[in-house]
Amino acid sequence: MDFLFAKRMSNLGTEGAFEVLARARALEAQGKQVIHLEIGEPDFDTPANIKEAAYKAMLDGYTHYVPAPGIKEAREAIARYTGGLRGVEVLPEEIIITAGAKPVMYFAITALVEEGEEVIYPNPGYPIYESIINFVGAKSIPLPYLEESNFKPDLDLLKKLITPKTRMLIINTPHNPTGATMSMEELEEIANLVRGKNIWVMADEIYNRIAYGIPTPTPSIFSLPGMKDQTIIIDGFSKIYAMTGWRLGFGVAPKDVIAKMSTLSLNTYSHATAFVQMAGIEAIQGPQEGPAKMVEEFAIRREHFVKALNDIPGVKCVAPQGAFYVFPSFRGYNISSQELATRLLNEAGVAGLTGTAFGIYGQGHLRFSFANSLDNIKIAVEKIGDFLKNL
């Protein structure tokens, strides 16, 4: 059959981490050894109490359809959890539980942004933002997060980028891929630019409890006066509870927005898996030693990784304040990020991502995850150093 795909499909992007993972697996199938520093998932197991809660929920009959925005008890628990993190009252009607955090991006942008309207988003940034903005026919306006300013956005530039067509501003703190976080003062400045205007803030806070040398949760624009009414929080269980494969996330937004997002959920996958939602209640209400230990271990790896990368001539690595990625630059070498990432994988057996997988302003960088053992990180940095020496 001679078939054509719908035009909108050409606007949809992809996620480099999944592509590189597939290439790395193909090399492994040929017998090559690869150190995986590409995918953004904790190398820890989901804590046992959460798994047990899922089995119990299955046995208790949570194996049927439930309401699209989520099971009542789970929405209540998440509302209390977010309210506690942010010091603001959150109602269960202001929560949608989703299959991973990702659908919140798709639902919020689809529900709130018209074709032709503008969305300002972090670049480099999580690639799905730009993909969905383009998919819905909106205009994606990149806000650069650059190494020379410690990966903090230039707020004077942001002010200039805001036009009457701006409908949404996406912020992500702690930031993937750079690990930069925003202080309350910086968030205050951003809030002052948008407060009371017809501009939604989509605040991706999935790494809010993974930070180093600063208190957690990292600050949220949601906590600032008046901002709850125009903010959509993206959060979830994938990172902090090492639950990537469970697909459990949530959005926090005004209840009318949640209702529209629920309609989108109903029209796609109906709802997040019932017994997984019940396990989510245990995750946030049960013991928190698992996440705490994981973050402690990340901190040790981060310290080693950053130092070892900075010891390589021509490499610069700003220490990430949060998340579990480093985003070093390789400006001392005359090679594009894409070529460097490909050759490191093929020739040195180290899988990382080209900075450009996160947008054009990621050129000159690679992203490595430190969700791998300290031993593997040490071997990987040695291999990177050797490869660069012989370039």
Ligand X SMILES: Cc1ncc(COP(=O)(O)O)c(C=O)c1O
CB of 176 to ligand X, least distance (A): 4
Q: Which of 40, 92, 355, 359 touches ligand X by CB under 6 A?
A: 40
Q: Which of residues 315-334 bind ligand X (CB under 6 A)?
A: none
Residue nearest ligand X, CB atom distance: 100
178 in contact with ligand X (CB under 6 A): no
Candidates 97-105, 147-155, 160-168, 194-202: pick the segment binding ligand X (CB under 6 A). 97-105
249 in contact with ligand X (CB under 6 A): yes
Q: Which is nearer to ligand X, 237 or 387 (CB)?
A: 237
Q: Which is nearer to ligand X, 77 or 206 (CB)?
A: 206
Rg of the chain's alpha carbons, rounded to an integer?
21
Q: Which residue reads 């806070």 in tokens?
A: 205
Q: Which is nearer to ligand X, 200 or 387 (CB)?
A: 200
d(CA 244, CA 46): 9
Instruction: Name the 3-class secondary structure at 95.
Output: strand
101 in contact with ligand X (CB under 6 A): yes
Candidates 86-94, 157-165, 236-244, 279-287: pick the segment binding ligand X (CB under 6 A). 236-244
Q: Verify cis geometry, omega within 30 degrees of 0, for the bond prior to 177.
A: yes
Q: Which of 131, 166, 172, 262 touches ligand X by CB under 6 A?
A: 172
Whether the Cβ atoms of residue 238 and residue 126 lie closer than 8 Å to each other: no
Instruction: Name the 3-class secondary structure at 369.
Output: strand
d(CA 262, CA 68): 6
Label residues 326-357 b or e (16+ Cβ within 10 Å = b): bbbbbeebeeebeebbeebbeebbbbbbbbbb
265 in contact with ligand X (CB under 6 A): no
CB of 248 to ligand X, least distance (A): 7
176 in contact with ligand X (CB under 6 A): yes
CB of 2 to ligand X, least distance (A): 36
Whether the Cβ atoms of residue 113 and residue 136 lie closer than 8 Å to each other: yes
238 in contact with ligand X (CB under 6 A): yes
In this structure, what DSSP letter does residue 47 have?
P
Report which residue type is found at 242. A
100 in contact with ligand X (CB under 6 A): yes
In this structure, what DSSP letter does residue 2 have?
-
Q: Which is nearer to ligand X, 15 or 118 (CB)?
A: 15
CA 268 from chain centre, in angstroms, equals 22
Q: Which is nearer to ligand X, 251 or 290 (CB)?
A: 251
Site map (CB under 6 A) of ligand X, residues 182-211, x = contact:
----------------------x-x-----
Report which residue type is found at 37. L
291 in contact with ligand X (CB under 6 A): no
d(CA 367, CA 328): 7
Candidates 76-84, 100-108, 181-189, 258-266: pick the segment binding ligand X (CB under 6 A). 100-108
> Sign of the C-alpha dihedral, residues 84, 89, 91, 97?
negative
Q: Which of residues 64-83 bind ligand X (CB under 6 A)?
A: none
Whether the Cβ atoms of residue 53 and residue 278 lie closer than 8 Å to each other: yes
Q: Which of residues 117-146 bind ligand X (CB under 6 A)?
A: 126
Q: Which structure tokens are listed for 338? A: 């894409």
Q: What share of the chain is helix, strand, coil (3-state, %, to 5)?
A: 45, 15, 40
Candidates 98-106, 147-155, 184-192, 285-293: pick the segment binding ligand X (CB under 6 A). 98-106
244 in contact with ligand X (CB under 6 A): yes
CB of 320 to ligand X, least distance (A): 13
Residues within the interface to ligand X (CB under 6 A):
40, 100-102, 126, 172, 176, 204, 206, 236, 238, 244, 249
